[in-house]
Structure 1
Amino acid sequence: GNGALIHTIDGGENWEDRTEDSNVPNSNGMPEPIWGIHFANQNIGLAAAEFGVILRTIDAGATWTALNPRPVPNKLNSVYMISEKEAWIVGDYSSILHSSDGGASWDVISSNADLKKITFVNAKKAWVVGLSGTILNTNDGGKTWSEQNSGNVFELFGIGFVSPTQGYVVGSNATLIETSDGGNNWKMVNDPSDEGHGTAKRIVFDDPMTSWKSALGFYNLHFPTSTHGWGVGEMGKIAHTSDGGKNWLGQSTNNPQIDFSNLFGVYFVDTNTGWTVGAGGAIAKTNDGGKMWQAQYGCSEELRSVFALNVDIAWIVGSQGAIYATQDGGSTWIRQIAPTDENLHGVTFADAETGWVIGSNGVILQTTDGGITWLMQASPTKNNLSGIAQSADGTVWAIGEWGTIIAAQ
């Protein structure tokens, strides 16, 4: 698919889609997916993309020029500009690229693993992370790179430092690795066997010295209260927080059908009763805050989202137009008839009668009789919709790919 470019000039309060007016030499606007972007200053920046595509802007992103020839043909994952002239890019097939002329030419350096993220602390000191627990470090501006022992074999996707000595790396299987001595030694912060097995692909610091975000990289989160929340993710792992997300503890269903399925949806009525759903028709319910989970009726479809009005009434949606409803707390799930076979990704209800479902290709469905009948609604978009919720004033909001946000009252 084609890449997308969005832009903010107010610190992220508002975002503007710059994809189609970006003036890149490609018939569909931006080229293949863009995986990394970095600016040397307000005007000059580089973007790294699929198939070795490198883009450059000198006018704050109003226009982008594809740099040719491409130094490598493979996917490029991350770019970092030290100055207007000097830049580094890392990518798949062990690629490390360096330019000292603003991207006009690139030196190609090899490593031993696919590389996902590069970050510089200063002009000389930098780190790169990648597959198989790879952490590379340079102290001489990239002239030489040394491999550091992460003590980890999972995929590493993001790295950040809160001080010259304190840094964190995140990755698949809930990996969070920490250093307190500038990268000489790394240790696991959390144990992947106990926690959410999500995948965190970026790590973000709220304050240069104090805090970080991105924790476990769940597929989905739900907080029934301000302090209690649940996250679900890869390989059936579930995690719970009772302090607003500061700390998470792993939970297990102890059911092979659930434990080896990716979980995509979670919803709690209160701090005791909730459901999670996922791949392979996985459905599990808890009545004691997740201490014990019971597998419920499964189906063949991949289940993407669950919504519950109370401990008895709930709906689930999934692939190929699947909508299931229960009136007895999940003891039985009845398939409801949807006027589409599109994949459905989100569901919400205002009360026992009125609800909405969203899905692929902009599909919006509505019911006013608890799901006995579902009607297709006129949709302002063909983009895939992935999330839906109703605000306190009754407005129903849906979000989706390419920055899509739509609302109805």
Structure 2
Amino acid sequence: MLTDVAFISSKRAVAVGYGGTILQTDDGGATWISLNSLITTDLFSVFFSDETHGWAAGDSGVVLTTGDGGKIWLPVNVRTSPRLVTVYFADEVTGWAAGSDGLLVRSDDGGLSWRRLTEGGREDLAHIFFLDNSRGWAVGSRGKILFTSSGGRNWTVRPCGTTARLNSIIFVDEKEGWVVGDKGTVLHSANGGVTWEPIKIDATEELLGVDFATRERGWIVGARGTILHTEDAGQTWRFQTGNTFSWLEDVHFTDEKHGVAIGSSGTILRTEDGGQKWQRVDRNLKEWLYALTFADALRGYAVGEKGVILRTDDGGSTWKDLESDVASNLFAVAVAGRDDVVITGDQGRILRSKDAGVTWEVQPTITSSPLFSVAYRGGMNFWVAGRGGAILKRNEPIATVRISASKLPPMLRGGPPKLRPAAGQNAITDDGDIPRASPPNKKSARP
């Protein structure tokens, strides 16, 4: 089984896979020859910085390097046995590799030696939210809440008193924040996310999305058509009837009256009276819809399974398909204007459009892991988060990385899951045998 491929030129490419498989083509993929990697370890990622220098990473901390375009591969070990699922080099000497449990390591000598960048948080991250260019939060499995005040350079854990999976976070203003999660979990902060208090509600379902139109009026959506509404700043929550048993993944209100919710089997619900009545928007769509956002009262975007991208120009009454030539699942969408939109999804996919989805650009990323959330503030400033606690920030042409700890998929949804840990997988809490990285001397190469 092949796991990754890197194109060195228009005709030449190298593919890697299980059992140490390395294949090479010089005719654009018409024929392939097998190369001897001298190992039987599964390889998951391959990357070339130019036509001669390449690296492959895989199980048991194995990294292979080549200096002759892939004819000869030499093994390098990362001094531990993590599964390294992706590798990326900015040039011949500076590179990063990321592991399945949130491990991120860096090399400053072409892959001969590696140092770790992560502290040990390994929980998958479901959602990321930024209040401005400096202050942001991320939530995920096992009750993980992370906070940054440095635009993502450093992250700290904020205790919340729950081990439930947390699926979505939003701040109404600088002080008032809300988090929702599995088992009917609702958390509230009144001090800018420093502390979080549980809010008792009558729901026990998975709660997947939350949005507030004002400080007082908010909505929560979740499994089996759950819709909750508050009119008193979250002191009390009551159910609203959506006339659906679909899993509702996300919700967004453009004002106190007009809102849209999306979910499984192509479900799109719309209300014009604050949720007293929800009406289904019929699109004959069967794919699971995962995320939703609006740039203004009329222009909105939704993304989902099998590369589905939808756009509305009338507040959600009608939706049109946008072509992107992407067939993988898309999990998150964010906008910085009516026409400026970023989407993330499976296999580390990051798409950006500057013309409202008429055309799309694939953004560079150093991971092949699913990315479940994106926060976008325009230009090059956006953050993405996903499996294994990955948090990536891009603010210059070569992506820089900041990872600390870990939107998960529905578990029993009748549709494709977003982010469940593999069965029997244990969280790794320490990688003490890998030395801690210090800032390199080369400023241009600093991650």
Per the normalisation by structure 2, the TM-score is: 0.62
Residues 164 and 343 of structure 1, relative CA distance in 2, 3 Å threshold: same
Contact 2:95–2:107 under 8 Å retained in 1? yes
Which residue of 141, 158, 167 corresponds with 2:86?
Answer: 158
Which residue of 185, 192, 199 corresponds with 1:289?
Answer: 192
Contact 2:35–2:71 under 8 Å retained in 1? no
In structure 1, the residue matched to 2:225 is 321
Q: Is residue 107 of structure 1 aligned with residue 34 of structure 2?
A: yes
Deviations 1:255-307 (A, max 9, x none): 2433xx2x331111122221222334333222222221223337432222111
Quote the Cα distance in structure 1 between the aligned partners of 2:180 and 2:159: 12
In structure 2, the residue matched to 1:269 is 172
What secondary structure is seen at the aligned counterpart in 2 of 1:361?
Answer: helix
Residues 98 and 234 of structure 1, relative CA distance in 2, 3 Å threshold: farther
Whichever residue aligns with residue 249 of structure 2, its letter is H
Stretches of structure 2 lacking an aligned partner (at least 5 in a row): 315-447
In structure 2, the residue matched to 1:304 is 208
In structure 2, the residue matched to 1:371 is 275
Deviations 1:312-353 (A, max 9, x none): 432111222121223344444333222111121110112333
Quote the Cα distance in structure 2 between the aligned partners of 1:313 and 1:358: 19
Residues 120 and 352 of structure 1, relative CA distance in 2, 3 Å threshold: same
Quote the Cα distance in structure 1 between the aligned partners of 2:222 and 2:24: 45
In structure 2, the residue matched to 1:147 is 75
Residues 109 and 252 of structure 1, relative CA distance in 2, 3 Å threshold: farther
Deviates more, 1:268-277 or 1:138-147: 138-147
Contact 1:225–1:271 under 8 Å retained in 2? no
1 or 2 for the larger relative contact order (CA 8 Å, sep ≥6)? 2
Contact 2:123–2:140 under 8 Å retained in 1? yes
Deviates more, 1:183-192 or 1:299-308: 299-308
Higher-Rg structure is 1
Whichever residue aligns with residue 176 of structure 2, its letter is T
Quote the Cα distance in structure 1 between the aligned partners of 2:234 and 2:83: 37
Q: CA deviation at 1:310?
A: 3.8
Q: Is residue 406 of structure 1 aligned with residue 334 of structure 2?
A: no
Quote the Cα distance in structure 2 between the aligned partners of 1:283 and 1:323: 13
In structure 2, the residue matched to 1:117 is 45
Whichever residue aligns with residue 345 of structure 1, its letter is E
Contact 1:297–1:333 under 8 Å retained in 2? no
Deviations 1:115-163 (A, max 9, x none): 2210123444321123444322234444543433335554433222222
In structure 2, the residue matched to 1:42 is none
Contact 2:141–2:163 under 8 Å retained in 1? no
Identity %: 33
Contact 2:5–2:46 under 8 Å retained in 1? yes
How many corresponding residue pairs?
310
Quote the Cα distance in structure 2 between the aligned partners of 1:283 and 1:92: 42
Contact 1:325–1:334 under 8 Å retained in 2? yes
Whichever residue aligns with residue 156 of structure 1, its letter is L
How is 1:346-361 mapped onto 2 (pairs within 5 angstroms)?
Answer: 346-361=250-265
Quote the Cα distance in structure 2 between the aligned partners of 1:297 and 1:219: 22
In structure 2, the residue matched to 1:248 is 154
Deviations 1:191-243 (A, max 9, x none): 133xx744xxxxxxxxxxxxxxxxxxx43222233432222234432222324
Which residue of 6, 13, 29 corresponds with 1:87?
Answer: 13
Residues 180 and 118 of structure 1, relative CA distance in 2, 3 Å threshold: same
Stretches of structure 1 lacking an aligned partner (at least 5 in a row): 1-73, 199-217
What secondary structure is seen at the aligned counterpart in 2 of 1:257?
Answer: coil
Whichever residue aligns with residue 252 of structure 2, its letter is T
Whichever residue aligns with residue 350 of structure 1, its letter is T
Residues 310 and 84 of structure 1, relative CA distance in 2, 3 Å threshold: closer
Contact 2:53–2:92 under 8 Å retained in 1? no
Whichever residue aligns with residue 244 of structure 1, its letter is G
Quote the Cα distance in structure 1 between the aligned partners of 2:292 and 2:175: 23
Quote the Cα distance in structure 2 between the aligned partners of 1:297 and 1:153: 43
Per the normalisation by structure 1, the TM-score is: 0.67
Whichever residue aligns with residue 4 of structure 2, its letter is S
Quote the Cα distance in structure 1 between the aligned partners of 2:25 and 2:183: 47
Contact 1:275–1:284 under 8 Å retained in 2? yes
